[in-house]
Structure 1
């Protein structure tokens, strides 16, 4: 992701031809291996005085967003069935296929500001209570660990009209002119339009069945598996067989046009543009193929069946790596930002941070993909970009790359300042070991959520020596060394 108001060293602006700024697995229904950010004892506790004895906390205890997710639950699959009305507001039913990893006397689901009408558990109606920001479901009998069950929630969403200036991810957004809608979730707004376990440690496969208003279409992550006949109205079905974190979910509704292009690498190219903007973003679309070819050569196979871009007609300087189709505002739809979001398909989408404090595992490496492409495309070397960013980081200060706050989650030290750490690691390990590390990391962890400790342990293993002192000096320090390793 590239957030609003981001800045970068001047040389990097020229290299990426960008002056406005933006954000820039294993298949199967059994779901991915995930690493929770906290133990049950560390997680937040329920404030519901009526919670039954033995109830687990209603949040995982993420260091930055402690109320997200829930212990004892592992979502395997989301089946999202939405009806979108003429005003582009959504209602419908989401069915979560969940495995109980502990004995449960209640099931908490992240659901903020939603009107929940009914809940069923394995087809039977069940008691529930809305206790912001949770939907708490109380089954008639305890659910034993190891049980898999279907939890269906029927609800109505109250959408946001255009992004709020002080919020990065408002959730389900309706354009100011009311002509289209889209989702913008990172880091914790999927729960504002979709009852879910809205934490990056809990990934699942997805199916979207969306019925848009007459004369419009619906777009979501993955590939289309059913759609109305040409010129007819009806339901669009999109499916994603690789696990995805909730914050990466994409739904677009309105007068969109799908542009599917042939490819010679087996990866479907499915772009989505507003019908009156087709042809306006050819540079972004044309850059995808060479960037995809290059990153595949560096990082290993592309992890999904499809890739594309979508552009909203807004001037908010933002882009986000929604899985299989990155989303851009019009003023951020450039090749320089595009390669950042494409890099995220590996770093962040396929291999996802287990907690929001681990976000450098996504953003620092996606920024480094920008640097690699800039050098490949005839711009400054990664070393030149790192030296400039190191000087900027020394001037600005800020928290360590591996310990952001909520306010600095999308700040310089996670992006360019974090890419400095990646370049320093490359020099510390040498090129052969460094790129072996990246490819091993991505191949071994595809479809999972991972921690910083997972990465540093693998780095030491690949290097054949203990790198703890390096990571203490570069990754976990506020004041970095004055110069990059020789």
Structure 2
């Protein structure tokens, strides 16, 4: 609960107190609160090396409650975001990331809050300061036609219109196109998403659907619950006409797959293999980290790439094959449960998911991981930059992040042996389950399991500028 600021104690000001008051006013502060000093605004950005204005300081989100209504005929989205967070400093104001859309109003702990906008920065100034450590609840109501975001590499994310609805995908920054929040992967939260769409359409999101009903005006409302922490870029919303199939994996995990009706028949067999692939992955990566699983398959053209949206990855038809399904499901451990502390750490996501493909080929296709390593080593594109140091945001999803990143893991395997390597495969997502991690966390962890310094390996394969003479 927010602790309201106390009024300044009456009395005669000393010269020193007057000087302090002048200094506080100059800094944009007024008196009040514990100790006589009110809070300061949270930072408008977390200084990520590639997206310095992404995310916000001063608070940590614990839960998003999103209530949405979408009309495909007009493209209009009406939204209400209820954000429960804890202040990490004394706050006089705080920011949320939001691209486009019109904000109709906001409250903090039930009281109207002042709202201002500057680009993608939405600033809320509550009626009373929020004390460090206090939990607070911000509610933002908004509306409009959500934006499609074009990334530095030319790919599209955010809110994508489809033939019969829409698809929301958010890596790396597009989630701000459909709800306000702290849109940096370092601030993970639980989600409850309630979506209303015209009758005949389905609305699919992450986690488990807890209810679905048709309202009096002929619209369908579904509610989705994701209790495990999730980075906002992994949130998804798929609206349209879908054929769905339900199953169970690992004895207890509900599996929901969905496909556009035009691609449902040709994708049914592979969608049915989700439980089988998850079983193999748990044998290598450890317990499955979420309470739901599945996949969403769209027509080609609706989305240009597959994405590991948490518990329910998204695929275009052209990317829905066994290696890509293995890759995106492996991300549930590497990237979704253990998320990057900053976008510089994205290689930790993609290296493990790529190596999962190599392991699957080794176990089921008679292709040793060494052979996959040699093919990657021969790919000159994989040597454009070190995987742990992409030069620009345009390079975050380049070949070195995937292929050379997987080569790093293979060199670790060769250095420590299979017993220690498979201990690392399962131990890494166990140690950082539902948390975030850095490259330095990873190298320290590997060396702790190996029991020795691996600096030479990191220098050459993870950080080195050139291609080694020999694989």
TM-score of the superposition, structure 2-length normalised?
0.87
- Aligned residues of 1:159 and 1:174 also touching (Cα < 8 A): no
Q: Distance in 1 between matches of 2:382 and 2:294?
A: 36
1:286 aligns with 2:272: yes
- Paired residue for 1:200? 185
Cα distance in structure 2, aligned partners of 1:126 and 1:246: 24
1:239 equivalenced with 2:225 (yes/no): yes
1:149-160 equivalent positions in 2, closer than 5 A: 149-160=136-147
Measured after TM superposition, the shift of residue 438 of structure 1 is 2.0
Residue in structure 1 matching 2:158, options 171, 178, 198: 171
Mapped partners of 1:363, 1:439: distance in 2: 16
The question of 1:273 aligning with 2:250 is answered no
Structure-2 change in CA distance of 1:364 and 1:263 (3 Å): closer
1:82 and 2:99 are equivalent in the alignment: no
1:29 equivalent in structure 2: none
Deviation by residue 1:463-482 (Cα, 9 ceiling, x = unmatched):
11122232122111122433
Whole-Å Cα distance in 1 between the matches of residues 203 and 287 of structure 2?
Answer: 29
Aligned to 1:143: 130
Higher relative contact order (CA 8 A, sep 6+): 1
User: C-alpha displacement at 1:51, in angstroms?
Assistant: 9.4
CA distance in 1, matches of 2:430, 2:382: 35
Shift of 1:306: 1.4
Query: Aligned to 1:125, which of 100, 103, 112?
Result: 112
1:474 corresponds to 2:461: yes
Distance 1:51 1:182 in 2: 44
Change (3 A) 1:302 1:396: closer
Instruction: Report whether the alignment pairs 1:72 with 2:72.
Output: no
**Displacement of 1:391:** 2.1
Cα displacement (A) at 1:203: 0.2
Offset, 1:263: 4.1
The alpha-carbon deviation at position 397 of structure 1 amounts to 3.1
Matched with 2:88 is: 101
Gaps of 5+ in 1: 1-49
CA distance in 1, matches of 2:140, 2:398: 36
The alignment status of 1:183 with 2:172, answered yes or no, reads no
- Cα shift at 1:152: 0.7
Separation in 2, partners of 1:68, 1:449: 16
Out of 361, 374, 377, which is 1:387 matched to? 374
1:25-424 → structure 2 map (5 Å cutoff)? 52-53=28-29, 54-87=40-73, 88-160=75-147, 167-175=154-162, 177=163, 179-228=164-213, 233-263=219-249, 265-315=251-301, 317-393=304-380, 397-404=383-390, 405-424=392-411
Secondary structure, counterpart of 1:60 in structure 2 = coil
| Equivalent-residue separation in structure 2 for 1:75 and 1:169 (angstroms) | 27
SS of 2:293 mapped into structure 1: strand
Greater C-alpha Rg: 2
CA spacing shift, 1:105–1:210, aligned 2, 3 Å? same
Query: How far 1:303 moved relative to its partner?
Result: 0.7
Q: Considering only aligned residues, what root-mean-square deviation do their CA atoms show, in Å? A: 2.2
Paired with 2:340 and 2:152, the residues of 1 have a C-alpha distance of: 26
- C-alpha distance in structure 2 between counterparts of 1:102 and 1:52, whole Å: 16
Shift of 1:271: 0.5
Work out the number of aligned pairs and report it. Answer: 432
Following the alignment from structure 1 to structure 2, what is the Cα–Cα distance between the partners of residues 161 and 351? Answer: 27
Unaligned runs of 5+ in 2: 1-25, 30-39
**1:184 deviation in Å?**
1.7
Contact 2:248/2:255 (<8 A) preserved: yes
Q: CA deviation at 1:159?
A: 2.9
Moved more, 110-119 or 345-354: 110-119
Q: Over residues 102-124 of structure 1, what are the superposed CA-to-partner deviations in whole Å (9 max), with x where a residue is unaligned?
A: 11121110011121111110111
- Secondary structure of the residue that 1:211 maps to in structure 2? strand
| DSSP-derived class of the 1:201 partner | coil
Calculate the TM-score normalised by the size of structure 1: 0.85
Aligned-pair CA distance for 1:362: 0.2
Aligned-pair CA distance for 1:193: 1.3
CA spacing shift, 1:164–1:143, aligned 2, 3 Å = closer
Report the Cα distance in structure 2 between the residues aligned to 1:58 and 1:230, rounded to whole angstroms.
40
Q: Deviations over 1:328-378 (max 9, x none)?
A: 011111112111101100000010001000001101110000111111112
